[in-house]
Every structure is written in C-alpha cells, then in structure tokens.
A and B are shown apart, each in its own frame.
Chain A
Amino acid sequence: MLALINQIVDKCLAAIQEASSTQQLADIRVRFLGKSGEYTSILRGMKDVPPAEKPQMGKHINEGRERIEQALAAKESECKAAELAARLEAESIDVTLTKDLPFGSTHPVTLVLDQIIDIFVGLGFRAVEGREIESDYYNFQLMNIPLDHPARDMQDTFYVTENTLLRTHTSPMQAHTMQEEKPPIRIVVPGKVYRADDDATHSPVFHQIEGLVVDKGISLAHLKGTLDAAARALFSAETKTRFRPSYFPFTEPSVEVDCSCPLCGGKGCRLCKGTGWIEILGAGVVNPQVLINCGIDPNEYSGIAFGMGIERIAMIKYGVPDIRSLYENDVRFLKQYC
C-alpha cells in the first residue's frame, strides 16, 4: 500500500509538473484529490490495513496529500502569474488612438477680463457693471466733455438719438457710482464699449475695464502703486510701468501707461517695436470738475481713475495679430483658449 501511495503521489507530481494552466491544475486536483480521485481512492484500502499500522499508514497518506497540495499551490501561483502576464500582453492597446470627449473653451476676452477683475478684487475693488446705451450727459458731460468739446473727436460715437448713444467708454459708471455712493470708493467696471472704427487694431465693439478710487488723500503716486501691482499680476513679477503725460478731459494730470514688454522683458522686440515698452492704458488723477459734477467735494476728496482696452491686452498676451479674429469666432480659434 505504501508503494501504491508513493506511486500515485509520483504520478500526480509528474502531472502537476507537466501542467501549464490553472485549468489543467484544477483538473489534476479533481483527478487525484476529488471525491473519487485516484489518491482519495487509496483511503478505501485503509480498511485492509492492520489496525496497528493504521496510524502510520494514515500519516503516510496525509504526507502524500500534503506534498500534492504544496506542488499544486506552487504550480498554481506559477501558472496564475504566467496567465496574467499573457492576458495583459494580449490586452495591450494602441495608446495613440483617441476617444473624443467634448471640450469647451472660454473667449480670450473673458479670460483676460476675469483675470484683471480678480487682480483688482484682491486689491479691495468691487466689480460693477453698467448700461451700454447711455445718455450723452453721463457719457460725456459729467465726464467733463461738454457739447462741442474737441475731445469728442477722440471718440467716434454711435448715436441712437441726439442725446442717447452707445457708451464710448465704461466711464459713465464712474458718474453713476459717485452719485449713488459715498467715498471711499474703489470700483472696477468691465464691459462692452462702442466706437465707430473698424480695422486691424480697432473693432467697433470692444471691451474696457475702468477703475476708480475716490478717498481722502489719493494721489498720482497711488495710481502708480496700484497699476504697478496690477501689471505685475497681469504679466509677470518683473513687469515695470512707465507714465507718459497725456490728456483726457476727465483726469488731470493724465497719463498714458506703458508696461515693460512682456515678450522681451524690455530688451526690444517685434511686439514692442524695439522700444521695450507696450502701451496698455490711460489713467490719471480724477479731474476735480468731474468730482464736482458727480456731487463729491474736491476739497475733501481726490481720486484716481484708469481705463484699459481688453482686446489689446488679449492680443498682447496671446499674440493675436488682428482684433477682428476675436469677433469672427472661428471655433478653431476659440478652442485655443480654455
């Protein structure tokens, strides 16, 4: 009987050795260790074993079973690893193929506006919006541009009636705010504005963001400080600003503000036409007449204001050469901005 045990164990171990899949191993398990398996059948011979030998024989049987189990387990884990490797190998895919998920985009003007609003909100400014169809009174007269003022020539205006127009700048909201609120005032006004002009650098519809600060002791130096901070946030930490004297009826002194060229950092390049500077906005100390017009005492309060064209900033930031592409809305263009 002992010989039989060894013989079956050897036979089983040989079969295990030869097996190459977990399925074969499972078959082997059934064949030898199943209810009527070859090895299990040995137990039937136990009844013929003399009682004195039974314990010893039982031990042999168990040892044999143990050896089979161990061999099965070892081979099984070997086969599993091989089968997994084979499956993974078979499942390899071409990763360069794609599946389309829709992706949207945000208009570059919105991207720039949001960025600028964020900067000024961080500086304690409130972002407010105003109407686009305005009265001459708010758009011009309160802004110190009386009828027939030569400065009206600076802005080609779309009129709706003799006294109603499409706002030429976001400045009317300065007047609305000053009339409705007491200083301290810190606002930015983003929005659409209109001028009868249409070429590669001018669009009849464009966006501006206006800023206004009115408080006690506000000076031109605060304008410099505010715009320095904004320019650094908008372009880079190294960005500098430069003031050049200019003229706007609603500010005095008035300045054009340049920032160091974001492309070349001031060394001179195609974008800045070799000057190292890019004009980004107009600004100044609020003309005391504007404060008076809007019901604020210029002896007590002073203010600073600034206004910039968003399309221009977007064109600089993203290298867009023609303003018209911002309004053609070709989806291939739009999809570049997300």
Chain B
Amino acid sequence: MKVPYSWLKDFVNLDGITPEYLADKLVKAGFEVEEIIPLNDSYRNIVVGRICSIQPHPNATKLLICDIDVGTDHRQIVTGAHNIKEGDYVPVCLHGARLPDGKEIFSGELRGVRSDGMLCGGSELGLDDSDYPGAGFDGIFILDDRCPAGTDINVYIDTLDTILDVSVTANRPDTNSILGIAREVAAVLDRPLQMPVRADWQEQGAIEELITVHIDDTELCPRYMLKGLTNLKIQPSPDVIRRRLRKVGIRPINNVVDATNYVLTEIGQPMHAFDYAKIGGQTIVVRRANEGEHLVTLDGKDSALTSDNLVICDANAPMGLAGIMGGLDSGVHADTQTILLESARFKRDNIRRSSKALGIRSDSSARFEKGIDFLSQELAIERCCSLLVEQGCADVIGGVVDCFDGEIKNTVLSVPVAKINSILGISIPGDQMVSLLNRLELKTTVEEETLLVEIPAFREDIVGANDLAEEIIRLYGYDGLVSTPLDGMNQTHGGRTLHATWRSRIKAVLSGACGYSEMISYSFISPRYWDVMRLPADDLRRNTINLLNPLGEELSVMRTTLFPSMMRIASGNLSKGNKSFSLYEVGKIYLPHAELPSEEVEMLMMSCAGAEKDFYSLKAALDLVAARLHLSFRYTASAHPFLHPGRQANVMLGDICLGYIGEVHPTCAAECKINDRIQVAEINLEILIENARAFVPYVPVPKYPAIMRDLAFVVERKITGDEILAQCRASAGALLAECHIFDVYEGAGIPDGHKSVAISLSFRDLQRTLSDAEVNPAIDKIIAEMQTTLGGVLR
C-alpha cells in the first residue's frame, strides 16, 4: 500500500519526523515498509526556465536555438520542437540532469551549435494530460507562470514528497487506507489523530423521492448506503487531488470518479457513482444474479453470471457486479446531472469468489476481498460529498438511503492483566497497558487488575486476550521480552524416529563409502515419462495423483517412481559435460488410495554413469547399503521394459521384491536425451528399514587357519555365478566356510557360448586346524557334482 508522506500529514502531525524514522517505527509495530521512495529522486537537475529568445539554427532548418533564463543565469539550448515562443515557461534539463526513465542529459553540440541541456516534454517527465493540461502534447511541455525561472521542477510538479510502500497483513484490513495507516502512525508516535473535516453544505430535495432500494440478500450485502448529488459539473479534479491519485498509482479521470478513488484510498471504502438518469424505474435491487444472466462490465467484458454473483440492478437489469465493477453504461458521463453514490459492505468471501470465477478484478474488489468494517460506509459518503462540495461542482440531495439491519456497537473485552502477562511472559503493569491500548483508540480502563477494553468496529480482528497481548507488546516493544529457556516444565525426551535414524545411516553409507552424491528433486513430473519408460497401459505407475493447477505439463503429476526424476537430473548433468556421476535420492512416491488422500512411500533411487561405472558398480553400492543394515540382497531375473533386457534384476530381500536394478534401455535413455550407458536402481526404503538389523548375534572370530583352494570351471554362458556358488556350497559340506568368484573369462581357449569361472574356496573348522587330506574329498565332490549338475568342466 503506497502512502504519500504529504497525505499522511493531513491526519497526523509529522513535524520533526523523517520518513526513515517513521518507517522504522512502523516496522517495529508490525507494518513492513517495503520501500521508502523519495519522488524527487526521479527528477534531478531539472528546473523551470523562461524562454528569452528563439533563433534559427544556422545549419539545420528543423532546429531552434533558445536563450533560456534558468534563474541564476542564462543557458543556450538547441531544441527540435516548435511549439514554443518567447516568454514561455518550460522544463529545462541542465547538464547532468536525470529523467524518471533513468536517462541522463549532458551539455553537448547539435549540428555545430553548443547546447547546455535540453527542453523536455511532459511524457519525458512521466506526465500526461490527466496530470496537467498540455502535458500530453507531443512537444515541449509549456508550464504556467506560477513558479519563477530557476525553480526546481519538483516544486512545480509536486514531487518533493516521499512514498512509504507499506505492506499490510491480512488481519488488518482497516489499515488498507491512508487514514488507517495514519491511525497506526499516531499510535506509534503517541500523537493525536485528526479525522478528515466534513464540509458544510445545504441539502435540497429528498433522496427517498428519487429512488427505492431493495436488498434481496442481506447476507451478501449487510449494509447498503446511497447519497444523491445533483447539479453536477463534470470537470477535471483540482491539482492536489490529481497529484495525490497519481502518487498512489491511480489515473485521474474526472472529478466524480477521482473523488470515489480518493475516498477508496483515504478511507478504504470502495464507492460507485451511478448516473441517476440511467437507473430504470427509479429502483435499485441488490440480488443474486439469475443463472445465465449477462452483464457487460466497464472493461468491456461480457460475462454470463450465476446465482453465486451478486448484482446491483435497476428495475430492468443488472447495472453492475456488486463491489467488483460497474456496468458499461451505468457510469458517469460528461453530461451527467445527478449521481447516486453507493457505499456498501459486501460479503468478503462472495466478492472474492465472484471476482475469481469471472476473472474480473478492480481496486474495489481487491479492497472488498480484504474486508470492510461497518463504520466506513458513512464516513466515505461524507468524505466524498465534502470533496465535491468543496470543489463547488455539486449540490447535495437531502437524506440518505441506509439499508442496515444491524447496529454498530463496540464490544467490550474483559481480560485480566495477569493473563496478558502470562501470554507474553513479561510483567507490564496494568496502567501501562491501558495507556498503550488507548493510543490505538482501544478505549481501555483497568479495574481490579482486569482490563476492560472497548473494541471499535474497525478492529474486527481483536477477539480475545491473545489479540490484546499482541497490541500491547507491539507498542511496548519486543525488546522488552526476556529470553526464557524451556526449563522447569515437564521434561520431554527428544529424538528421531527409528525410521529417520536408519535413513540417516543409509545416507551416510551412500554419501560416504559408496561415493554417491545426494540429490533432491521435485515430487511432480511429466506424465510423458510413462511412454518413455514403455510401461504397459495397465501398469500401476500410470495411475497417478494429478495436480489441478500445475505450474505446467512438465510438473503436473505426482511421481509413482523416482525414475523420471533421476533421468531428468542425469540428463541435465550429462548435457553440462558431467560425464561421470554417482547420484542418489531418498524421496517419496505418491500412490492414489481409496480412503486416504494418498499413500506415500519413501524410496531410494540410485544411478551412476561414466567410465568404469557399470552394473556391478551400482550393485556393489546397493550391497554395501544392505550390509550396513546387516542384510543381504538377492538378485533375480526381471523384465522391466525400461531396462536393458540382459542387464537387469529384481532386488530381493528374502522373498520380498524391494525394487529393480539395471542398465537403462538404450531406447528409453535416448528419449531422456541420454546417449551414455547409465545404471539405475530403485528400492522401497520403508520395507528395507523395517527389516534392518542393528546388530547380528555374536560370532566368534576363528582361531584356526583356513585352507584355501582355487578352482576354475568352464560352464555354459547362461549359468549364473549364484548357481555355481550354490552348487559349491551344496557339494562341499560343513567345512566350506566361504566361497566367492574372483574371475570370469570368455575368449581364447574357451569354447563359444561358454565361460571360465574361477572360484576361491576356503575351508575351516572352528575347533582345530584342518589337513589337506580332510579337504580333498570335498574338492573332489565339488568337481564331480559341478559336472553332473551344471555341466561344469574343471579347467
């Protein structure tokens, strides 16, 4: 909310108060000052000049050489504009001048003639005809003679002012006005607030004879006031009103429209002026629109209405959308004689919904959405009449229409001083609370250590002790709070959940020993990935939770697998030249669920790519995670369509399938803009953690040495390592302590379709040292049975 310092001064004495000081005070009282804007900063080194003489330019017919009186001395300035004559007052940019658009002007030469600056037009000063007559002309802006030559242009165009851009919180709609901010300013400075002065006027006639008002829906329109003005002279507003509107970003139109905008800004009450001549049947009805009823609003938009929209109608048809925008024809025209000024309270929610549904917004609807109190309607009517009467451009019609069932009554809160102090954890004496609250126009007394606070109608936000506590502390100052630790209370035992503890341990292994980098990605993805992954039509992963209002198609469905997120990040990295990476993410997937909003499952996604990073690198990392949890995974055949058919597996924990591991199918990778080999794995972290073991039962460390033997078998290519090792264990008997494959070889010396698998076996007895003679039968048995079961031939 833009608050001109000069406007504020109408209501509070700001003598000796700088804008910076005031801004600081407001911030401490809960009003964020986003920006302090000194308006004159936009106009540097620009003065009023008087043209003393005009000479033709010797080298250019289109240019003129002017001798300009700039107060202290004269300047020679060359100009291309021809709307000037000797004796005119004009804005002059001197050497080093700066215009609102940031342009700087320096002395120079134009076609061989020295020019000590520039004469400027209204648009260059950011002005148009609505600011000053003639300012919009395409040429030099001719000033009137109210300021002598040499006067700073800021004086002439009234920009020796500062705007405070104040941000108002949602609970304080009453401060969305100059007067509302002034009330806070008066409170923080502890100075009196001067309310706007009502003009004196004679009323003629009676409004009841002109109009009948019927409120059909008092819930949506709890108060509706009308005041009549006649003998109108529609003309531009006085300078001061136009300038003030400009400063808050409103374009001046004419005296009537300006007056309603002025009141909206100053009092915070939106108003609408109806041209009386256009009200059919001398009747105004405030009702819900009929379904399908049409209205063309001021912005030219034709809307089909519903019964959720409140409309202001005459005897025949809607004239305007209540609180949002008038109809195209209902407004004030140059020949309007009589107007009815509407000042109403409409239900906040309804305005908000209608405005949103119809896509029509205005200053008025924006204001109504924030909430209007019951005091503003009358105040606004008086203020608006005063403004127009003071201009001598209207007569006031007697009486006022006021459709209001309720009664404006201040509620009284009774709150013990001790309650306030206990909320704040402070000891402020009751008397001091009284004086703080009174500064805010909350009439307060204290009786028997209990505050009695009269809440005015404009403070609908104050309903209880906590609200009063806030009012008190924000004026008292938060610096008065004593930092108090949470002790002496019931002690609680803190800590993480078991799941979070395990998750941290798993992350520590991945980020540590495995050398993986943790990433975090968006939870929503593009649905196009289901086709990229070549998922069949009935794949459950296609069954997603979808956003109604996504930021875009790319971010529109909640992920049911982390694979797409990983592909996006991997592709981004590869495209930036990060050819080698190991990444993981711990994140949720979101599954539609009949009763709950959704089922959310935490997953672990891993991926690696780059030289020497193959399937086995990723598998090794995954196995390390399992080992950290004292578990081990099995890898079984799988057929995931997005993975390389010959390089993939399901990751099994016992008989539970936790997920998959594999190399991404080259077609799928290519559609993700990845041309490199890339490995991925995704497993259900929740099931994994449920099965995690903090430790395993004690196993004694062997005392006696093992006997090591290596064997190599030639087997068919399709025989897996797991099968070979299982066969070894089955054949060897109890003495075999460990066995693992240390080499697999294909090529010269090995028949086609076969491979040589080298196995290291270690035999051990926990009670004694074994002899070769005891191991040999086991070796013989392994060799024999490898032949019979798997067709393996000792190499």
Q: Which residues of A contact B (CB under 8 A)?
A: 101-107, 109-110, 114, 117, 120-129, 131-135, 147-151, 153-154, 158-161, 164, 166, 183-186, 192, 194, 196, 198, 204-205, 213, 215-222, 224-226, 228-229, 242-247, 249, 252-255, 285, 287-288, 302, 326-332, 334-335, 338
Alpha-carbon distance between A331 and B473 when the two chains are bound, in angstroms: 48
Check B171 for interface membership: any CB of A closer than 8 A: yes
- Chain A residues closer than 8 Å to B512, beta-carbon distance: 104
Task: Pick from B219-227, B285-293, B478-486, B687-695 the stretch touching chain A.
Answer: B478-486
The 4 residue pairs across chains A and B that have the minimum distance between CB atoms: A102-B515, A221-B425, A219-B425, A245-B30
Candidate in B497, B517, B558 with the most chain A CB atoms within 10 angstroms: B517
- Knowing A160-B597, A164-B597, A247-B170, the reply to whether A104 touches B510 (Cβ < 8 A) is yes
Question: B556's closest neighbor in chain A, by CB?
Answer: A158
Task: Pick from B114-122, B409-417, B547-555, B767-775 the stretch touching chain A.
Answer: B547-555
**What is the distance, in angstroms, from B512's C-beta to the closest C-beta of chain A?**
6
**What is the distance, in angstroms, from B613's C-beta to the closest C-beta of chain A?**
9
24 CB-based A-B contacts, threshold 8 Å: A104-B514, A106-B518, A121-B494, A121-B495, A123-B494, A124-B492, A126-B495, A131-B600, A132-B523, A132-B588, A133-B545, A133-B597, A148-B348, A149-B170, A151-B170, A159-B548, A221-B424, A221-B482, A222-B486, A244-B32, A245-B473, A245-B478, A328-B569, A338-B511
Check B82 for interface membership: any CB of A closer than 8 A: no
- Chain A residues closer than 8 Å to B353, beta-carbon distance: 148
- Does the CB pair A127–B549 fall under 8 Å? no
- Does the CB pair B485–A229 fall under 8 Å? yes
Question: B472's closest neighbor in chain A, by CB?
Answer: A253
- Chain B residues closer than 8 Å to A126, beta-carbon distance: 492-496
Alpha-carbon distance between A338 and B518 when the two chains are bound, in angstroms: 10
- Chain A residues closer than 8 Å to B582, beta-carbon distance: 102, 104
- Does the CB pair B425–A150 fall under 8 Å? no
Write out, one digit per residue, whether chain B residues 373-405 have a CB within 8 A of any chain A CB (1) or not (0): 000000000000000000000000000000000
Alpha-carbon distance between A102 and B482 when the two chains are bound, in angstroms: 50
Check B426 for interface membership: any CB of A closer than 8 A: yes
Give B10-46 interface residues, CB cut-off 8 Å to A.
27-30, 32
**Main secondary structure on chain A at its contact with chain B?**
mixed
- Knowing A150-B370, A219-B423, A330-B573, the reply to whether A101 touches B515 (Cβ < 8 A) is yes
- Knowing A159-B547, A253-B469, the reply to whether A225 touches B514 (Cβ < 8 A) is no
- Does the CB pair B369–A104 fall under 8 Å? no
**What is the distance, in angstroms, from B357's C-beta to the closest C-beta of chain A?**
12
Check B112 for interface membership: any CB of A closer than 8 A: no
Check B546 for interface membership: any CB of A closer than 8 A: yes
- Does the CB pair B483–A221 fall under 8 Å? yes
- Knowing A134-B597, A160-B546, A244-B27, the reply to whether A107 touches B518 (Cβ < 8 A) is yes
- Does the CB pair A252–B494 fall under 8 Å? no
- Does the CB pair B492–A125 fall under 8 Å? yes
- Chain B residues closer than 8 Å to A252, beta-carbon distance: 464, 466-467, 469-470
Pick from B170, B521, B548, B555: contact of A153, CB below 8 A: B170
Check B726 for interface membership: any CB of A closer than 8 A: no
Alpha-carbon distance between A225 and B426 when the two chains are bound, in angstroms: 13
Alpha-carbon distance between A204 and B554 when the two chains are bound, in angstroms: 13
Give B358-380 interface residues, CB cut-off 8 Å to A.
369-371
**What is the distance, in angstroms, from A106's C-beta to the closest C-beta of chain B?**
5
Check B635 for interface membership: any CB of A closer than 8 A: no
- Chain B residues closer than 8 Å to A135, beta-carbon distance: 597
- Chain B residues closer than 8 Å to A150, beta-carbon distance: 170, 173, 348, 352, 369-371
Check B89 for interface membership: any CB of A closer than 8 A: no
- Does the CB pair A158–B171 fall under 8 Å? no
Alpha-carbon distance between A160 and B548 when the two chains are bound, in angstroms: 5
Check B791 for interface membership: any CB of A closer than 8 A: no
**What is the distance, in angstroms, from B210's C-beta to the closest C-beta of chain A?**
36
- Does the CB pair A219–B422 fall under 8 Å? yes
- Does the CB pair A124–B478 fall under 8 Å? no
- Does the CB pair A131–B598 fall under 8 Å? yes
- Chain A residues closer than 8 Å to B422, beta-carbon distance: 217, 219, 302
- Chain A residues closer than 8 Å to B482, beta-carbon distance: 221, 224
- Chain B residues closer than 8 Å to A331, beta-carbon distance: 517, 573, 578, 581, 583
**What is the distance, in angstroms, from A174's C-beta to the closest C-beta of chain B?**
15
Alpha-carbon distance between A73 and B171 when the two chains are bound, in angstroms: 97
- Chain A residues closer than 8 Å to B29, beta-carbon distance: 245
- Tally of contact residues, B, Cβ under 8 A: 86
- Does the CB pair B521–A194 fall under 8 Å? no
- Chain B residues closer than 8 Å to A246, beta-carbon distance: 30, 32, 169
- Knowing A122-B494, A127-B496, the reply to whether A159 touches B549 (Cβ < 8 A) is yes
Check B489 for interface membership: any CB of A closer than 8 A: yes
- Knowing A101-B515, A252-B466, the reply to whether A128 touches B497 (Cβ < 8 A) is yes
**What is the distance, in angstroms, from A276's C-beta to the closest C-beta of chain B?**
13
- Does the CB pair A132–B590 fall under 8 Å? yes
- Knowing A109-B520, A110-B518, A330-B578, the reply to whether A219 touches B486 (Cβ < 8 A) is no
- Chain B residues closer than 8 Å to A216, beta-carbon distance: 489-490
**What is the distance, in angstroms, from B707's C-beta to the closest C-beta of chain A?**
34
- Does the CB pair A326–B349 fall under 8 Å? no
Alpha-carbon distance between A330 and B572 when the two chains are bound, in angstroms: 7
- Chain A residues closer than 8 Å to B548, beta-carbon distance: 158-161
- Chain B residues closer than 8 Å to A205, beta-carbon distance: 522-524
- Chain B residues closer than 8 Å to A332, beta-carbon distance: 578
Alpha-carbon distance between A107 and B511 when the two chains are bound, in angstroms: 9
Pick from A183, A186, A254, A287: contact of B486, CB below 8 A: A186
Question: A149's closest neighbor in chain B, by CB?
Answer: B170
- Does the CB pair B466–A288 fall under 8 Å? yes
Check B491 for interface membership: any CB of A closer than 8 A: yes
Alpha-carbon distance between A243 and B30 when the two chains are bound, in angstroms: 10
Pick from A123, A183, A196, A326: contact of B520, CB below 8 A: A326
- Chain A residues closer than 8 Å to B551, beta-carbon distance: 196, 198, 204
- Does the CB pair B490–A329 fall under 8 Å? no
Check B576 for interface membership: any CB of A closer than 8 A: yes
Alpha-carbon distance between A243 and B426 when the two chains are bound, in angstroms: 15
- Chain B residues closer than 8 Å to A249, beta-carbon distance: 170-171
- Chain A residues closer than 8 Å to B578, beta-carbon distance: 330-332
Alpha-carbon distance between A128 and B494 when the two chains are bound, in angstroms: 10
**What is the distance, in angstroms, from A302's C-beta to the closest C-beta of chain B?**
7
| Inter-chain pairs besides A125-B494, A252-B464, 14 sampled, C-beta below 8 Å | A110-B507, A110-B520, A124-B494, A150-B371, A160-B547, A160-B558, A184-B491, A204-B551, A219-B423, A245-B29, A249-B171, A253-B469, A334-B583, A338-B511
Check B740 for interface membership: any CB of A closer than 8 A: no
Check B542 for interface membership: any CB of A closer than 8 A: no
- Does the CB pair B494–A255 fall under 8 Å? no
- Chain A residues closer than 8 Å to B466, beta-carbon distance: 252-253, 285, 287-288
- Chain B residues closer than 8 Å to A101, beta-carbon distance: 515
Alpha-carbon distance between A338 and B511 when the two chains are bound, in angstroms: 8
- Does the CB pair B425–A222 fall under 8 Å? yes
- Does the CB pair B507–A219 fall under 8 Å? no
- Does the CB pair B597–A225 fall under 8 Å? no
Alpha-carbon distance between A215 and B424 when the two chains are bound, in angstroms: 15
Pick from B170, B172, B483, B547: contact of A225, CB below 8 A: B483
Check B754 for interface membership: any CB of A closer than 8 A: no
Alpha-carbon distance between A192 and B484 when the two chains are bound, in angstroms: 30
Pick from B171, B491, B496, B524: contact of A124, CB below 8 A: B491
Alpha-carbon distance between A225 and B424 when the two chains are bound, in angstroms: 12
Pick from B28, B481, B524: contact of A220, CB below 8 A: B481
- Chain A residues closer than 8 Å to B425, beta-carbon distance: 219-222, 224
